[in-house]
């Protein structure tokens, strides 16, 4: 989903994720945000993780919706926002070859 930034109207991309690995956290939703003005390293890592580890081609636009349904490995850290615990996506990587999404959704 894309929405305009409150500050200047530039595009902010919401990356909606869900834990699919079996265990205590299966089904936990996570959201990451990327600004069109600072897509930088996080965006490159997301694209690479969704593209089997391949870098995006120079000067080629990548449709972030190409990541829908992809299984990727993420690193999550915990933090606080307004005194409430949060989960923050810190990094993306290609999922292990043996891991596949077994969700019915």
The CA distance from 70 to 33, in Å, is 17
What pLDDT is stored for residue 63 in this prediction? 79
Tens-digit pLDDT profile for residues 7-41 = 887 888 888 999 888 889 888 999 988 887 777 76
What pLDDT is stored for residue 99 in this prediction? 67
The residue whose two tokens read 């919706």 is: 65
What pLDDT is stored for residue 85 in this prediction? 92
What pLDDT is stored for residue 66 in this prediction? 83
pLDDT above 90 (res 69): no
pLDDT above 60 (res 59): yes
Greater confidence (53 vs 63) lies with: 53
User: pTM (2 decimals)?
Assistant: 0.74
Nearest C-alpha neighbor of 15 from the set 54, 57, 62, 56: 62
Tell me the chain's radius of gyration from C-alpha atoms. 15
Pairing of strands 11-18, 29-35: antiparallel
Q: Which residues contact 72 (CB under 8 A, 6 or more apart)?
A: 46, 49, 50, 92, 93, 94, 95
Mean pLDDT calculated for residue range 48-69 = 84
What pLDDT is stored for residue 83 in this prediction? 94
CA dihedral (10, 17, 103, 75) positive or negative: positive
């Amino acid at each position: 989903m894309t929405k305009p930034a409150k500050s200047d109207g530039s595009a902010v991309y919401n990356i909606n994720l869900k834990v699919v690995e079996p265990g205590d956290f299966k089904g936990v939703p996570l959201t990451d945000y990327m600004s069109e003005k600072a897509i930088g390293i996080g965006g490159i890592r997301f694209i690479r993780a969704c593209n089997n580890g391949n870098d995006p081609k120079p000067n080629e636009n990548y449709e972030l919706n190409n990541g829908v349904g992809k299984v990727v490995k993420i690193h999550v850290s915990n933090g606080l926002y307004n005194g409430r615990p949060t989960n923050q996506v810190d990094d993306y990587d290609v999922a292990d070859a043996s891991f596949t999404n077994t969700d019915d959704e």
